[in-house]
Amino acid sequence: MKMTKIYEGSHQWIMFGRDPNKPANIIDSNQYVVRTTNRCLLMDPGGTELFAPMMAAVLHHAPVEQITDLFASHQDPDVISSLGLWDQALTNAKLHAPAIWEGFLRHYGCESIEYVPIPDHGGSIKLDSLELQLIPAHYLHSSGNFHVYDPQAKILMSGDVGAALEAPDAPVFVDNFDAHIDKMRYFHQRWMPSNQAKRAWIERVRKLDIEILAPQHGRMFKGDDVKRFLDWFDALQVGIAV
Amino acid sequence: MNNQTKSQFVAVASITSELSAVMVVAKEISLAAANAKAIAFRAGDKAKGFQPITDFINELAKETIELVTDINVYALLLYRLTVNEYRRTSAYNRFEAAAKLAENAAYGASMQGPVDVAKGRMQDCQRQFKRDVTHLLSQLEAVMHHARAARVIAANSRIEASQAGEYLQSLQAVAESVDKAAHTIHDNVQRCRVALSIYRSN
Ligand SMILES: [Fe+2]
Ligand SMILES: [Fe+2]
């Protein structure tokens, strides 16, 4: 599992992904970790297959007992089907996930982890002195969907928004936006169902000061590429299957 | 899922299906008993020896139905335990894999706690499963015992039927159906026992 530190300040952001041992027929995903002094948040920790490599990778940064928070942007298996395993490994943890998915996500097994339901209008996650904002992103693509914004690091973890289907050894940042478009067009057109939801999200996100847009698949966007992505997404017609 | 786990799932699931067939047959016996009782009543003195037998058959069918109902509840528990054991075993395996991958990680040693806990939970489940299988096998043995008793009664019925003059044929038919039903129960339960016996505790 490749680890890339994407922010280093009073806390850290680390991106995990490009696992070389991942079975070829499952989609590659990026997992993000925020590490504060005593706590550790795993965002979209991934599918069952990814549990062992992900746990091992996190152990480079924090001991098991300091993994205190999980976040699931939505209910998809590539996001959180590992829940039942984290549930047995962590003794004192919370799962922050959309309120409307609680009854569904519990199918993965959630007995010792406390499910903290995120209401539709959003909320926050507090880690030591850090406060992360939970930004609504409903229908992008899931009907109950949130992104995580860190105003200090200026990072928006954007779930499936900004995702691209990439080669397993692709670089972690977009280096040529125009060339990247082909890798993400179909994904957004087909997986994102609603132009209306897309507009509402773009309007909300344009007000945030974002240095890195960090999707769950493919590469991250940095600096001007963040604005390029928002403009491109704004102009894209989605929901093409009907 | 490995083959051992797969066959454990199949063994436990097959109990429920075999037993639902047993249930149908036990109800048939109880019907045959009611039928026999009516005939014996009409036959009066000619079927004197047959009357207590019908009560006995009825009692046996009722007990078998009760037993099977109990076993079904137990089989469902055993199924849940199998699911649990599967989850715990796969958790343990994945925790071990994580610990191994994290050998050189700064906090790799912190994984030992979860590995040990997972191992303990898995072993608890395995022990519980063995205990429950042993108990279930003894319940199944009780059903077999009933089936064997039913066959003895069926044989007696045949003898009694032969004294019943013009009722001979219908009473013999009753004896026949009890015998057949008991045979089916015996076979089905035997299959359950064979499927489960490899999991019993020694
Ligand atoms: Fe998704
Ligand atoms: Fe995804």
In the reported structure, the alpha carbon of residue A140 is separated from the centroid of ligand 2 by a whole-number distance in angstroms of 11
Model pLDDT, residue B202: 58
Residue A183 pLDDT greater than 70, yes or no: yes
Report pLDDT digits (tens) over B111-167.
999 999 999 999 999 999 999 999 999 999 998 998 898 889 888 888 888 888 888
Report pLDDT digits (tens) over A94-150.
999 999 999 999 999 999 999 999 999 999 999 999 999 999 999 999 999 999 999
Residue B110 lies in a domain: no
Residue B107 lies in a domain: no
| CA–CA distance, A139 with A144 (Å, rounded to integer) | 7
Residue B113 lies in a domain: no
Who among B88, B102, B113 is closest to A56 (CB)?
A: B102
Closest CA of chain A from B116, distance in Å: 10
Which residues form the domain of B161? Answer: 3-88+119-197
Q: Categorize the per-residue pLDDT at B201 as very low, low, confident or very high, splitting at 50, 70 and 90.
A: low
Report pLDDT digits (tens) over A52-99.
999 999 999 999 999 999 999 999 999 999 999 999 999 999 999 999
Q: Is A24 exposed, middle or buried (0-12, 13-18, 19+ CB in 10 A)?
A: exposed
Model pLDDT, residue B157: 84
DSSP label at A66? G
Residue B104 pLDDT greater than 80, yes or no: yes
Q: How many CA atoms lie within 13 A of A184 on its CB side?
A: 24
Amino acid at position A87, single letter:
D
Return the ligand number nearest the Cα of A192.
1
Residue B103 lies in a domain: no
CATH number 3.40.980.10 given to A2-235: no
Interfacial B residues in 120-179 facing A (CB < 8 Å):
121
Domain count, chain B: 1
Model pLDDT, residue A59: 98
Interchain CB contact of A59 with B (< 8 Å): yes
- Give the burial string for A138-157 (b: 16+ CB within 10 Å, else e): bbbbbebbbbbbbeebebbb
Chain B residues in contact with A85 by the CB 8 A cut-off are: 91, 94-95
For residue A120, give both structure tokens: 């539709």
For residue B137, give both structure tokens: 């096998």
Model pLDDT, residue A231: 98
| CA–CA distance, B195 with A58 (Å, rounded to integer) | 43
Model pLDDT, residue B110: 97
Distances (CA, A) of B114 to A80, B108, B110, B165: 20, 11, 8, 77
Report pLDDT digits (tens) over B65-92.
998 898 888 888 898 999 899 999 999 9
Q: Report the residue of chain A nearest B108, measured CA to CA.
A: A59
Residue B106 lies in a domain: no
Does the beta-carbon distance from B98 to A65 stay under 8 Å?
no
Percent of chain B with pLDDT over 90: 28
Distances (CA, A) of A239 to A27, A145, A181, A185: 21, 17, 17, 12
| CA–CA distance, B89 with B124 (Å, rounded to integer) | 11
Model pLDDT, residue B57: 84
DSSP label at A81? T
In the reported structure, the alpha carbon of residue A121 is separated from the centroid of ligand 1 by a whole-number distance in angstroms of 20
Task: Considering only the C-alpha atoms of chain B, give the largest distance between any 2 of them, rounded to a whole number of Å.
Answer: 92
Interchain CB contact of A175 with B (< 8 Å): no
| CA–CA distance, B91 with A87 (Å, rounded to integer) | 10
In chain A, where the domains are located: 2-235
Model pLDDT, residue B64: 87
Report pLDDT digits (tens) over A20-64.
888 888 889 999 999 999 999 999 999 999 999 999 999 999 999
Who among B94, B110, B113 is closest to A52 (CB)?
A: B94
What ipTM was assigned to the predicted interfaces of this complex? 0.91
For residue B23, give both structure tokens: 């249930």
Interval B33-39 mean pLDDT: 85
Cis previous bond, A60, omega within 30 = no
Model pLDDT, residue A219: 97
Of A67, A61, A12, A56, nearest in space to A34 by CA: A12
> How many Cβ pairs within 8 Å bridge chains A and B?
67
Chain B residues in contact with A48 by the CB 8 A cut-off are: 94
Do B125 and B117 form a contact (C-beta atoms < 8 A)? no
Chain A residues in contact with B1 by the CB 8 A cut-off are: none
Q: Categorize the per-residue pLDDT at B11 as very low, low, confident or very high, splitting at 50, 70 and 90.
A: confident
Cβ neighbours of residue A38 under 8 Å, at least 6 residues apart? A66, A128
In the reported structure, the alpha carbon of residue B191 is separated from the centroid of ligand 2 by a whole-number distance in angstroms of 46
Model pLDDT, residue A69: 98
Distances (CA, A) of B173 to B108, B149, B158: 74, 18, 9
Do A148 and A74 form a contact (C-beta atoms < 8 A)? no
Residue B174 lies in a domain: yes
Model pLDDT, residue B159: 86
Model pLDDT, residue A70: 98
Chain B residues in contact with A57 by the CB 8 A cut-off are: 105
Out of A213-227, B15-29, B185-199, the most confident range is A213-227
Chain B residues in contact with A89 by the CB 8 A cut-off are: 91, 95, 98, 114, 118
